[in-house]
Amino acid sequence: MSVTVRVPAKVNVQLAVGAARPDGFHDLANVFLAVGLYDEITVTPTDELRVTCDGPDADQVPLDRTNLAARAAVALAERYGRSPDVHLHIAKDIPVAGGMAGGSADGAGALVACDALWGTGASREELLEICAELGSDVPFSLVGGAALGIGRGERLTPLEVGGTFHWVFAMAGRGLSTPAVFREFDRLGEGTDIPEPVASGELLAALAKGDPDALAAAVSNDLQPAALSLFPELAGTLAAGRAAGALTALVSGSGPTTAFLVRDPESAAAVAQALLASGTCRTVRTASGPAPGATVAAAG
C-alpha cells in the first residue's frame, strides 16, 4: 500500500509586507497563485521514518527530520497517537530555496498522503491547522488555486480567477534563505514608516477577469528590493525577460527565482529561450496557473 500526492509550486502575484512583529514574523497581504510545476510525495509504510528525494535539485534537500515532509508526518502521527513509521519519497521538480514554496509543497503533500494512508478522518480545517504550524506558506500548498493570505500568510481566502495565466520562471545559480531576505527587508526599512500590508483591488480584479495585461500592471513584491540587495545579479535576469517581451518581471516570493508573466504559451517559449540565451540564469521553466492544490494522484 502506498499513496502519492501531487502538489503545485506557487508564485506571489502580490507580496505586501508590513513591519516586523514582536514574534519576528511580518504581517503580509500575500496573493498566491498556484502554478503547474509539481512535487510528488509518495508515502509507504515501513518500520522507521525515512525521507528520500530525487530530481535535479535533490542534493540540496535535507533528508532528516528538519524536512517539512518529515515534520508533517510527525505532526499528524502525534495528533492521532501513532508512530510516523513511513518512507516518504519526494520526486522534486519545484526549485529548492527558490521562493516557489517547494518545501511547503512537500509538507502539505506528506500531510495529505499520510492522512490518506492512515485513514485518520481528519477534517480539512484540522489539516489546515497543522499546515499553518508547519510554515506560513504550507496552507496555500494544500488548497492551491489562488488565495489571499493574511497574518503570516497562513490565513487564506480563496480568490476568483477568470482565466489561465502563463509564466516563465528563471532559476538562479544559488538559493536565497527566506529569513535572510526578511532580515534584509527590515534592514532596508530601518527608520522608515512601513505601511500596513493590503491587497490591491486592481490586482484582485485582474485575477478575477483573467486579464494578463491588467495583472502585469498590478503585480508587486515588497521583498524584491531585499532579494536584489542580497543577489544583485537578479536585476540582469529581470531585464533580460522584459527585453524578450514579458508583460512583467518580478522576483517570486523571497527569490531568487524570477517570474515572467506572458500572454500565451508561444510567448512563454520565446521568453524562455531568450532568458536561457542571455546567460543570466541557470535554467528556465514554463508553467501556467491556477493549478489545483495537493491532490492524491495514486493510491494502492
Active-site annotation, residues: 10, 137
Q: In 3D, which of 96, 187, 101 has the Cα closest to residue 136? A: 101
DSSP string, 163-184: S-EEEEEEE-SS---HHHHHHH
List the interface residues with ligand C5P, window 192-221 (CB under 6 A): none
* Residue selected from 11, 28, 226, 227 as contacting ligand C5P according to rule CB under 6 A: 28
C-alpha to C-alpha distance for 44 and 21, rounded to whole angstroms: 40
Residue identified by cell 495583472 is: 215
Shorter beta-carbon distance to ligand C5P: residue 104 or 258: 104
Instruction: Extract the annotated binding site for ATP.
Output: 95-105
C-alpha to C-alpha distance for 258 and 95, rounded to whole angstroms: 11
67 binds ligand C5P (CB under 6 A): no
User: Taking the CB of residue 185, how many other CB atoms lie within 10 A of it?
Assistant: 22
The site that binds ligand C5P (CB under 6 A) totals a number of residues, namely 11
Shorter beta-carbon distance to ligand C5P: residue 28 or 142: 28
10 binds ligand C5P (CB under 6 A): no
* For residue 256, cis peptide bond before it (omega within 30 degrees of 0): yes
288 binds ligand C5P (CB under 6 A): no
| Residues in a beta bridge with 167 | 261, 287
Shorter beta-carbon distance to ligand C5P: residue 155 or 282: 155
Shorter beta-carbon distance to ligand C5P: residue 10 or 152: 152
The piece of 23-31, 76-84, 122-130, 263-271 that touches ligand C5P (CB under 6 A) is: 23-31
* Residue selected from 10, 152, 166, 285 as contacting ligand C5P according to rule CB under 6 A: 152
Residues 66, 103: contact at Cβ < 8 Å? no
25 binds ligand C5P (CB under 6 A): yes
List the interface residues with ligand C5P, window 102-141 (CB under 6 A): 135-137
Please calculate the CA angle 17-10-187 and round it to the nearest 5 degrees. 25
Shorter beta-carbon distance to ligand C5P: residue 28 or 274: 28
Name, in order, each residue with C-beta under 8 angstroms of 282's C-beta and a sequence gap of 6 or more: 171, 172, 173
* Residue selected from 81, 119, 121, 179 as contacting ligand C5P according to rule CB under 6 A: 179
Max intra-chain CA distance, the chain: 57
The secondary element (H helix, E strand) that includes residue 130 is: helix 124-134
* Residue selected from 6, 10, 26, 92 as contacting ligand C5P according to rule CB under 6 A: 26
Residues at the interface with ligand C5P (CB under 6 A): 25-26, 28, 135-137, 152-153, 178-179, 182
